[in-house]
Amino acid sequence: MIDRHTLVALLAASLLLLALPSHAALRVLACEPEWGALAQELGGNLVEVSVATSALQDPHQIQARPSLIARARNADLVVCTGAELEIGWLPVLLQQSANARVQAGQPGNFAAADFVPKLDVPGRLDRSQGDVHAAGNPHIQTDPRNIGLVAAALAARLQQIDPAHAGEYARRHADFAQRWQQAIARWTALAAPLKGAAVVSQHKAFVYLYDWLGLKEVAVLEPKPGVEPSASHLQAVLATLKGAPARMVLYAAYQDPRPAEWLSKNGGMAAVKLAFTVGGTEAAKDLFGLFDDMLARLLAVGEKG
Amino acid sequence: MQSLLRASLVLALAAPVAARADLASDSRSDLTPDSTTSSRADLDALRAEIKALRGAYEARLQALEQRLQAAEATAAMRFPAAASTAVVPAATAPSVAPAPVSPAASSAGGAGAFNPAISLILSGLYTRTSRDPADYAIRGFQLPAGAEAGPGTRGFSLAESELGFAASIDPWLRGAASIAMHPDDTLSVEEAYIQTTSLGNGLALKAGRFFSGVGYLNPQHAHTWDFVDNPLAYQALLGTQYDDDGVQLTWLAPTDRYLELGVELGRGRSFPGSDTSRNGAGMAALTAHSGGDIGSSQSWRAGLSLLRAKASDQALSAAGAAGDTLTSRFTGTTRVWVADAVWKWAPEGNATRTSLKLQAEYLRSTRNGSLVVDGANSDGGGDYRAVQSGWYLQGVYQFMPRWRVGLRTERLNSGTPHYGLEAAMFADGGARPRKQSLMVDFNPSEFSRLRLQVARDQSREGSADNQLFLQYQMSLGAHGAHGY
C-alpha cells in the first residue's frame, strides 16, 4: 500500500516532468503548408515546424481541434496568412491556447498578408456579397513575389524572437532570397506564352497568380465567394463563355473537382488542378516544387491554345 | 473650395491689420489735417505691407498643406505595418512593400475603432406537438419551478435570439457578454465574463457569469447545437444548461496531447443549486478533457466532470402518483458526474463536402439532503437520497455540401428515491423516459441555417408526444469562431 504522501509526491513529480519544456528549437505553428515550408527554409534546424492544415483542406473551414489547441499552447511563433482567411477558427484557437506569446499583437503572431499589397479589396462590405474578406483576397501565396516579401518579414521576425540565432536566420534568408529571385526570373520567362490567356476559376483563389502571369479571369464558378457552384450558375457561366471562350478552368487541390470537370466536358476546355499550396500535388513538395508544378500544369494546356 | 478657404483666412488675418491702419491714418489726419499727400503715401505703404503679409501667409499656408499631405502619406504607409506590429529591421524594410490601405482599415479609425465586436443571432421556430406542452413533466424527475424543460410553446415563436459582444479590454484581459432575448419579451444575461489572455503556463482565469465547462454541450450556446433542443439528461439533471456566477481556472498541459483541467467556484444560483444569501460558494466543479487526432481524417475529445451544488428550500415540482402535480422543497447537496465523448470524421480532414460527428454523454446525479412535500397528508420532511441518470447518443452526417442529417436517441433512469415510507408518493419509481429525434438541416451559407426536426418524446405519463419543429438560425455581424 502506497501511503498518501508518496502518491502526492509521485503525482507532483509527473506533473513537473510534463511541465518541463521538452524542446530546445523554436516551435513554429504554421496555419497553412506554404508558411510551414517557408519557416522551414528560413529556420532550418533552429525551428520545429508543425502545420495546422493540409493542402487537401479548405483553409477557410477548419475546426479548432484539441490537437491544434495543444500545438498552439506550446508554440513560440504562429505563422498564418491573416487577412481574415482563418477568421473562423484561429481566434478561438489562440484564445483556448492560453499562450500569451502568440496572441494578436504579440511578436509571436505573424500574419503574412500584412506584408504584401492585396488585391480584390472590397469596396463594399456586406455578406450579401458572399464570404468576402475586408482586407482583400487572402490567397496571396499563388504569386512567388509575395512569398519573397513575406520571407523578408518572417526572417526579421525570427531574428526578433530568437535573437541568439539572428545571424543564422539572416544568412539563411539571404541564401533563400537569392535562390528565390533566380527561380522567379526563370518562372516568369517560362510562363511568357501564358500572358493574356483567358481562364475560368472555381473559387477566387488565384487572383495573385493571374496578376503575376497576366492571365485574364473571365468567369468564376462560385456565384459568390465561398458559395458552392449551383447547376444554374454553371449553365450561366457556360452561356457567357460561348461568346468569349476561355482556354482552361482552374481549381485548387482541396476543392471538389466536379464543377470544373463539368465545365471542361461541356465547354470544351481543359480542367487544370493546381496544387495551390505545398503538398497539393505529388510534385509540390516544397515552395520551389509548388511553382514548378503549377507552371508545368498551366503550360501543358496553355501552350496548345 | 480650398482657394475659398485660403482667401477667407487671409481676409480674416488681414482685417485687423487694415483696421489698425485706418485708426492710425485717422489719428494722424487729426494731427495734420491738410497733409493728404503724406497720408496717401502712408496708405500706399500700408497696402504694400498688407500685400507682403498676404504673400507671407500664403507661403506659410502652402507649407502647412504640404506638411499635412506628407503626414497623411506616411500614416497610410505605416498603418498596415502598425496593425501587424511588424518590427522590421531597417535593412529589410525597403524590400517590404507598403500594402494599400483597405477601405475597412481606414473607416475603422476614430471613436468607433474600439467598439466590441457585435454579433446578433436571429432564430425563429414553428412547433407542432401532439400533446399540450403546458403540462410537460419528465416522469420520475422533480424539476425546479419555471424550468425550461420540454418543447416550449406551440405554433410560431421567437426561438432564442441572442446578442453578443466581445473585445479585448487591455493587453491582459478580454471580455464577452451575451444577452438572450426570449419569446416572452424578457431579456436575460446568459454570459458576461472577463478572461485573462496572458497568465502564461497555459493558465486562464475567467470571472463573471458563464456556462460551466462541464460536459461537452454545457458550455455551448444554443445556436451551435445540432438539434433544436438540449437532450433530456441536461433538462432533467442540469436545468437544461448550467449557468452560474463565479470564477473558473483552466490549465492546459504543455503536452502534445491535448489535456485541459479546470476548476470552478460559483454562487450555485441555478438548478441543481439554488440561490441563497450564503457567503461561500454554492457550486464547485472539476473538469478534465483530453483529445487528439487519429490520422488526418479523425479527431476526438473526451472528458469527465463533476459538479457539486448546494440547494436550500428549493421549490420542485413533479408528477405525483395520482396524476396530480406534487410540489416539494429540497435542501441538500447534489453531485452530478458527466462523462462526455465526441468523435469527428471528414475525408482528409476536409469537412466541406462530407463529414460525420458522433457524440455521447452520460450524466449521473446524486441528491442528498432532506425533502419537504407540500400539501401531502403529512406535512413533514425527511431524509432524501436519489440517484438518477441519463444519456444520449447522437450522430450528425453531412452527406453533401450544405445538407446535414442527424439522429439522436436518449434515455433517463429516475431510480427510486430513498425517502422513508413516503417514496411511494412519487410516481414511477424507476421510470425510464425516452426520446428519439431526427433532424435535417440546410445551410445556405455558414451564416444561415434552416432545420426540420421530428421527435417522439416518451418522457411523460401516457401516450408519446410527437413533435415537429421548423427552425431558422441566422448569424449577423461579427461571427465568433466556434469551438470544437
DSSP line for B82-137:
HHTT----TTTGGGSPPPPPPHHHHHT-SGGGGPPEEEEEEEEEEEEESS-GGG--
**A39 and A146 co-located in one domain:** yes
User: d(Cα B397, Cα B354) in Å, to the nearest integer?
Assistant: 7
Among the three residues A128, A156, A186, which one is the final residue of a domain in this structure? A186
Q: List, in order, residues 6 or more apart from A11 with CB less than 8 Å away.
A: none
**A268 and A166: one domain?**
no
Alpha-carbon distance of B364 to B270, in angstroms, equals 18
Which cell goes with B221? Answer: 450556446
d(CA B411, CA B230): 13
A167–chain B Cβ distance below 8 A for any pair = no
Q: What is the pLDDT of residues B98-108, one digit of tens each?
A: 443 333 343 44
| Res B334: pLDDT | 96
Query: Hey, is the C-beta of B80 within 8 angstroms of any chain A C-beta?
Result: yes
Least confident of A1-10, A120-129, B232-241, B424-433: A1-10
Cα–Cα distance, A129 to A108 (Å, whole number): 33
- Which of residues A142, A157, A186 is at a domain's end? A186
The ipTM is 0.86
Res. B149: pLDDT tops 70: yes
Classify residue A142: in a domain, yes or no: yes
Is residue A54 packed enough to be buried (19+ CB in 10 Å), middle (13-18) or exposed (0-12)?
A: buried
Interface of A with B in 58-87 (CB under 8 A): 58, 61-67, 69-71, 73-74, 82, 87
Q: Taking CB atoms and an 8 Å limit, are A88 and B482 in contact across chains?
A: yes
In the stretch 319-348 of chain B, residues with CB closer than 8 A to chain A read 344, 348
At residue B91, the pLDDT reads 38
Judge whether A18 lies within some domain: no
Strand-pairing partners, residue B474, are: B122, B448
Residue A281 has pLDDT above 60, yes or no: yes
Q: Is residue A135 packed enough to be buried (19+ CB in 10 Å), middle (13-18) or exposed (0-12)? A: buried
Residue B112 CA: distances (Å) to CA of A89, A105, B83, B102, B220: 25, 19, 16, 17, 29
CB-nearest partner of A103 from B198, B291, B482: B198
List CB contacts (< 8 A) between B105 and chain A.
Answer: 134-135
Residues A143 and A200 in one domain: no
How far apart, in whole angstroms, are the C-alpha atoms of residue A77 and residue A107?
8
Mean pLDDT of B369-380: 72
Choose among A185, A119, A104: nearest CA to A148: A185
* CATH number, residue A271: 3.40.50.1980
B448 to chain A, any CB pair closer than 8 A? The answer is no
User: Does residue A4 or residue B14 have the better pLDDT?
Assistant: A4
Q: What's the Cα-to-Cα distance from A153 to each of B81, B235, B397, B428, rounded to whole Å? A: 11, 53, 43, 70
How far does the CA of residue B243 sit from the closest CA of chain A (Å)?
Answer: 20
Please indicate, yes or no, if residue A113 is contained in any of the structural domains.
yes
Q: Is residue A243 part of a domain?
A: yes
CA distance B291 to chain A (A): 5
Residue A72: give the domain boundaries: 23-186
Question: Quick one: A269 and A125 in the same domain?
Answer: no
* CA dihedral of residues B308, B314, B320, B326 (deg, nearest 10): 180
Run of H or E including B237:
helix B232-237
Banded model confidence at residue B322, pLDDT cuts 50, 70, 90: low
Asked if pLDDT for residue A207 goes beyond 80, the answer is yes
**Which residues from A are below 8 Å from B200, CB to CB?**
100
Task: Give first-to-last CA distance, chain A, whole Å.
Answer: 82
Instruction: Name every chain A residue with its beta carbon within 8 A of the beta carbon of B480.
Output: 91-92
Say yes or no: A54 and A176 in one domain.
yes
Based on the fold, state whether residues A292 and A201 are members of the same structural domain.
Answer: yes
- Convert the pLDDT of each residue in B160-184 to its tens digit: 899 999 999 988 999 999 999 988 8
Binding-face residues of A in 191-220 toward B, CB within 8 A: none
Per-residue pLDDT band for A180 (boundaries 50, 70, 90) equals very high
Is A251 in the same domain as A181?
no
pLDDT tens-digit readout, A130-170: 777 888 999 999 999 999 999 999 999 999 999 999 999 99
pLDDT per residue over A106-138, tens digit each? 999 999 999 999 998 887 778 777 777 888 999
Look at chain A and count its residues. 305
Lowest mean pLDDT among A90-94, B75-79, B425-429: B75-79
**Is residue A234, in this structure, part of any structural domain at all?**
yes
Query: Domain boundary residue among A186, A207, A223?
Result: A186
Query: Looking at residue B243, what is its pLDDT?
Result: 95
- Over residues B376-390, the mean pLDDT reads 78
What value does the mean pLDDT take over residues A221-231?
86
B78 touching chain A per CB within 8 A: no
Chosen from B78, B95, B106 to mutate, greatest number of chain A CBs within 10 A: B95
B350 touches chain A (CB under 8 A): yes
Is the same domain home to A30 and A67?
A: yes
Clarify whether residues A135 and A199 are in a common domain.
no
The count of domains in chain A is 2
What is the pLDDT averaged over residues B383-411? 95
Q: Residue B30: what pLDDT? A: 42
Q: B445 and A105 in contact by Cβ < 8 A?
A: no
